């Protein structure tokens, strides 16, 4: 029987989860160069997969022509025309399960998200490192017949910045520190006043770039950047493609347990993460980073950590969990990373 030559990979959202798939796919194409991958994801995330050999990206327009069951049926017809041999479902939600039904006769492997393990972790039944999301993705490919070794990562080269980039960021010779201070939930976000102290100190030694999305975050970052030399707010000034170019040139990225951490990690940038009510043990530490790169909240003071997998549960009394992480702790971690 001939070896399969074309695998459909499904990962629609969220940003961090999609970004975490990128190093795994880079490992795949390095180890199996004769196999083609087609990635099904949201249109916004297509730049994540740029420049990866043998990887084609298809946008699922789930709010428009691919909306609902009929829309997914139309999407499946489009995908089946590509001569797919196997399906790697890295998402395992209702949409991808419906698509699985339309791929009758094709071998489909869906990710085991470890929901029961994560439930026990967040309920306090035990506290131990669970399998990483990257390894869970790799497990899907192994079940399809393609075991992966993630221990020798493959990263893209730094992108040469354009004149548009340089018009904004200049040619500062200092080391570049990216800071992405926002997260989806309060319990995952370092207080903005304390982060301003971090920016103040770091800007005396490094060139600092601030990352965010949306008008509200851009306003807050502008307020910070306007106070200090060597600090530039990038929020809203570039496309995602262009922002990824800048991230690829950072010396280190400071981020929360959020998508920006995974964007930097997928590009091979050293990442320092700050964790509040979530914890790396749930499996979301950025790729190729160790627990030593994570700055953690005090579990002796806040024993319910992790309160949830995604940070959407903030128990009473946990509102200030991040305030017990001193700015000096973060600053010291950045200095050590850049020695």
What is the pLDDT at residue 2?
Answer: 61
* Measured distance CA(215)–CA(249) in Å, rounded: 25
CB 256 within 8 A of CB 310: no
Domains in the chain, CATH or no CATH each: 6-143 (3.40.50.2000), 163-337 (3.40.50.2000)
Edge-to-edge strands, sheet with 176-180: 231-233, 207-210, 176-180, 252-256, 271-275, 294-296
Contacts with 23 (C-beta within 8 Å, 6 or more apart), sequence order:
134, 150, 153, 154, 155, 265, 266, 287, 288
Q: Quick check: 338 and 207 in contact, CB under 8 A?
A: no
231 and 208 in contact (C-beta within 8 Å)? Answer: yes
Tokens 């570049």, located at residue: 176
User: Does the predicted model carry a pTM greater than 0.85?
Assistant: yes
Q: Which residues contact 63 (CB under 8 A, 6 or more apart)?
A: none
Compute CA 287 distance to the chain's CA centroid, rounded to the nearest angstrom.
9
Residue 3 is predicted with a pLDDT of 75
At residue 100, the pLDDT reads: 84
pLDDT values of the chain reduced to their tens digit, one per residue, 339 residues: 567 799 999 999 899 999 999 999 999 999 999 999 999 999 999 999 999 999 999 999 988 899 998 999 999 999 989 999 999 999 999 988 888 888 878 899 999 999 999 999 999 999 999 999 999 999 999 999 999 999 999 999 999 999 999 999 988 889 999 999 999 999 999 999 999 999 999 999 999 999 999 999 999 999 999 999 999 999 999 999 999 999 999 999 999 999 999 999 999 999 999 999 999 999 999 999 999 999 999 999 999 999 999 999 999 999 999 999 999 999 999 999 998
Using CA atoms, how far residue 165 sits from 127, 162, 175, in Å, is 44, 5, 17
């Amino acid at each position: 029987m001939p070896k399969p030559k074309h695998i459909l990979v499904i990962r629609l959202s969220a940003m961090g989860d999609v970004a975490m798939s990128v190093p795994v796919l880079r490992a795949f194409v390095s180890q199996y160069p004769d196999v083609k991958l087609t990635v099904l994801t949201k249109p916004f995330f297509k730049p994540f997969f740029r420049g990866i050999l043998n990887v084609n990206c298809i946008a699922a327009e789930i709010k428009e022509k691919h909306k609902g069951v009929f829309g997914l049926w139309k999407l499946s017809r489009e995908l089946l025309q590509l001569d797919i041999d196997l399906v790697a479902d890295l998402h395992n939600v209702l949409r991808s399960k419906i698509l699985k039904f339309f791929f009758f006769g094709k071998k489909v492997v869906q990710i085991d998200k470890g929901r029961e393990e994560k439930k026990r972790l967040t309920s306090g039944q035990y506290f131990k490192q669970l399998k990483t999301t990257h390894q869970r993705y790799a497990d899907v490919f192994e079940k399809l017949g393609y075991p992966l070794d993630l221990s020798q990562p493959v990263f893209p080269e730094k992108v040469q910045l354009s004149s548009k980039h340089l018009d904004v960021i200049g040619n500062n010779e200092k080391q570049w520190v990216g800071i992405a201070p926002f997260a989806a939930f309060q319990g995952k976000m370092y207080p903005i006043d304390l982060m301003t102290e971090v920016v103040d100190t770091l800007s005396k030694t490094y060139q600092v770039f601030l990352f965010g999305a949306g008008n509200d975050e851009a306003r807050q970052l502008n307020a910070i950047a306007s106070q200090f030399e060597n600090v530039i707010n990038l929020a809203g000034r570039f496309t995602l493609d262009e922002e990824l170019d800048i991230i690829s040139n950072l010396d280190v990225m400071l981020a929360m347990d959020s998508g920006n951490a995974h964007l930097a990690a997928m590009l091979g940038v050293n990442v320092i993460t700050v964790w509040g009510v979530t914890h790396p043990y749930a499996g979301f530490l950025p790729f190729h980073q160790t627990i030593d790169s994570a700055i953690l909240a005090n579990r002796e003071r806040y024993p319910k950590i992790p309160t949830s997998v995604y940070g959407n549960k903030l128990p009473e009394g946990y509102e200030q969990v991040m305030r017990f992480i001193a700015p000096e702790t973060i600053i010291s971690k950045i200095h050590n990373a850049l020695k």
